[in-house]
Amino acid sequence: MSAADLIAREARYGARNYAPLPVVLSHGRGVHLYDVTGKRYLDMMSAYSAASFGHLHPRLVAAIERQLGRLDLVSRAYHTDNLGGFCEDLARLTGLDACLPMNTGAEAVETAIKAARRYGYDRLRIAEDQAEIIVAENNFHGRTTTIVGFSSEASYRRGFGPFAPGFVAVPFGDAAAVEAAIGKQTAAVLVEPIQGEAGVIVPPTGYLADLRRICTRHGILLIFDEVQSGFGRTGRMFAFEHEGARPDGLILGKALGGGLLPVSAFVARRDLMDVFEPGSHGSTFGGNPLAMAVGCEAMHVLQDEDLVERSRKQGELLRDALSLIGHSAIRAVRGKGLWIGVELDPDQVAAKDVCLAMARRGVLTKETHETVIRFAPPLIIEKADVLAAVDVFAAALEDCAPRRQRTIAGCVSA
């Protein structure tokens, strides 16, 4: 079937909850993807960090193949021989005590919310059903009804209420606002160290450390959602390490599955994790042997190949190269490690049009909030590919917003 036929079939029989670029991918390897015509693309999205190791990393493929020859799924009704090793590796890597594996990032966030609430009732003596969690405006923590209920993005919420109470939103990056919002019912603060879907928004220096001090002073929990920012994406193993602000609970996912499987986890201090007892929480697929085999190998690859340091160095190269473009449509270049957002002036250019122009030139990425182009390639990317992607972005800007015209009329969305 042609690409057009495949797109039409998906539109006919699938839900229309995404608006993908008109590219039909069929296979990939490393930092490259290929469409059904055989055209090669440089992947500058890495599936929102889920493919941080590149596509079909040989060590990860070998790990899942080994496990497929031994044991697939038995549920948590029994012990398995690799769950404990996974939990130990992840606890040691994060500097926390205990791990509860789940599947998707949203499930791990829901797990953290349940843990924080029960901790509030059992340990902080908050009145039953009155616990509050402080969150940041413009957050993105997932798509379940509980989570979208405390989103400030109207499109995530419309038509899905009524929503669960118990969340108080304050401006992101404002530690004083967090402290002012703390009351007798506050159990926890839950934030992303860097807001990804909001446009790769980096908070002011000291924000994470301030949150740590505030939560310690008030005796409440600090929980970071590092589903996208974790495992080297920002040039440190975890984004909280930039300020030494170790949380009480950490939400992880995406890269943990090595691009092969959905794997997530909630990692926490022992006293926080111990709010769960048999029957209080679970998942049929959470902690399954296939996922544990891939997750363990992903953590080992990350360290063996020094991908965190690679992210730091290549991220500096990427940010510097983007900053040198100097196009009038660029409002800001921001981010850490291999996670950069370029904010564009919507009066000069539409971000989606730039993404389409980049795709035509063989580089794949996706806009967010209509004005920001994201650059988040696999951590294995080489210098030549980083610079090639920047060259394509600069050319795409000229395709869509020639500086002599400074108008979005020069590039039309497909």
Residues serving a catalytic function are 140, 225, 254
What is the helix (H) or strand (E) element at residue 225, kind and residue range? strand 221-225
Could you give the angle at the alpha carbon of 212 between the alpha carbons of 206 and 218, nearest 5°? 130
Three-state DSSP at 129 gives coil
Q: Facing residues of 372 across strands?
A: 343, 368
Q: What is the rounded CA–CA span in Å between residue 197 and residue 138?
A: 8
Q: What is the rounded CA–CA span in Å between residue 219 and residue 322?
A: 42
Q: What is the rounded CA–CA span in Å between residue 331 and residue 401?
A: 14
Task: With both helix axes pointing from N to C terminus, report the angle between 289-304 and 58-68 in degrees, rounded to the nearest 10.
Answer: 150
Q: What is the rounded CA–CA span in Å between residue 217 and residue 201?
A: 27
404 burial level (CB within 10 Å; 0-12, 13-18, 19+): exposed
10 Å Cβ neighbour count for 368?
A: 17
Is the CB of residue 247 less than 8 Å from the CB of residue 208? no
Q: What is the rounded CA–CA span in Å between residue 49 and residue 255?
A: 6
DSSP 284: S
Three-state DSSP at 122 gives helix
Three-class DSSP labels, 10-57: HHHHCCCCCCCCCCCEEEEEECEEEECCCCEEEECCHHHHCCCCCECC
Q: In what order do the strands lie in the sheet with 264-268?
A: 98-102, 264-268, 249-252, 221-225, 186-191, 132-136, 167-170
Q: What is the rounded CA–CA span in Å between residue 171 and residue 139?
A: 10
Total residue length of the chain: 414
